[in-house]
Chain A
Amino acid sequence: MIDRSAVGTGPEPVTVTVERGRLQFFGRVLGATGGVFVDPAAARAAGHPDLPVPPTFLFGLDIESAPDLLSAIGVDLSHVLHVEQGFTYHRTVHAGDRLTFAPVITDVYSRQGGALEFVVRDTSVTDAAGEPVAELHQVIAVRRPVPDKESA
């Protein structure tokens, strides 16, 4: 069972700097050979101060900001299914920006007689001035391991 008392709690917010090289790596892995997400000159030509962050990039910074959040409440990562992911954007993030991630476990519930447990995590992202940048909404399902018939 996942610890229900975790609802409403979250780790200390973490502040990170968005790295240009990491953005270029992310862009190239997804197939970009040029353009605003990997080429600083193209980004500036499009009116950006530096490389902009692609739509889903903040997800990785969010999970890195709290790598033990799930295991701390009793989730086995090998049995996790990502069910839902959402982003609400307030402004474009660029390489060099300092962002603060504040994740909170907002719900834990079970379905199918407890065979599946769900964990909802909402993270607000703010900039160095404390202004809202984005919100992330994540739902994961945790499969309860089926008892091994051979050893039963």
Chain B
Amino acid sequence: MTEFRLSTAEVGTELPELPEQHITRTLLALFAGASGDHNPIHIDSDAARAAGLDDVIAHGMLSMALLGRLLTTWVPVGDLLSFRVRFSAPTPVHARLRCTGVVKAVEEAAGPHGAERRARLGVTVRIVDGPPTVRGDALVRLPELHGAPS
């Protein structure tokens, strides 16, 4: 796993996956407190049922935060330029999630300190044995390649 380097990755290279994430009620309660999103449909089954749901569902931002963790495992946080997602399906409590990323493009661009290399990464969260729930992309600055690529 420490062998992976984004700086030499090419289009199509997949980021090593995060460990599978289990959405427990405890995780939803803790994430509500940590994130500041206290909407009761994520933490209170009664409120979720009153809103027409079968049970609590995970915060969309929990999935996005997990994708953020995937990104910062491989990219220094200061090299993250933008990050956006669309939420396409709800995540029920007890779901198990897979968080994946792939290099979609590598390009040169004008940065604040001259030309820099950037990668566009596609990121996805899907429920194990279920549908994708979140898809998006992140633009990251890549480190300079020193010397000839080996």
Taking Cβ atoms with an 8 Å cutoff, the residues of A that contact B are 22, 25-26, 29-32, 36-37, 46, 52-57, 59-61, 63-64, 77-89, 91-92, 137, 145-146
Select which of B33, B60, B83, B86 is within 8 A of A25 by beta carbon: B33
Within the assembled complex, what's the spacing in Å between the Cα atoms of A80 and B84?
19
Besides A29-B30, A31-B69, A55-B65, 17 other A-B contacts (C-beta < 8 A)? A26-B65, A30-B65, A30-B69, A52-B78, A54-B68, A54-B77, A57-B35, A59-B35, A59-B36, A77-B39, A78-B47, A82-B61, A85-B84, A85-B85, A86-B82, A86-B83, A88-B81
| CB-defined contacts of A137 to chain B, threshold 8 Å | 84
A39 to chain B, nearest CB (A): 14
A32 to B50, CA, bound (A): 34
Residues of B within 8 A of A78 (CB): 39-41, 47, 50-51
Cβ contacts under 8 Å, B116 to chain A:
none
Closest residue of chain A to B36, judged by CB? A60
| Nearest residue, chain A, Cβ from B29 | A29
On chain B, the residues within 8 Å of A25 by CB distance are 30, 33-34
Query: A81 vs B37: C-alpha distance in the bound complex, in angstroms?
Result: 13
Known: A30-B69, A55-B77, A87-B82. A82 touches B30 (CB 8 A): no
Number of A-B contacts (CB under 8 A): 102
Contacts of B59 in A (CB 8 A): 82
On whether the beta carbons of B72 and A46 are closer than 8 Å, the reply is: no
Q: Number of B interface residues at 8 Å Cβ cutoff, please give it.
A: 39
B110 CB, min distance to chain A CBs, angstroms: 15
Chain B neighbourhood of A61, CB < 8 A: 36
Pair A26/B72 contact, Cβ less than 8 Å: no
Prevailing SS type, chain A contact patch: mixed
How far, in angstroms, from A122 to B90 measured CA to CA in the complex? Answer: 23
In whole angstroms, what is the CA distance A36 to B51 when docked? 39
Query: Given A30-B69, A31-B69, does the pair A84, B87 have CB atoms closer than 8 Å?
Result: yes
> Could you list some 9 contacts between A and B, CB below 8 A?
A52-B77, A54-B68, A56-B61, A61-B36, A78-B51, A86-B85, A87-B83, A88-B82, A146-B52
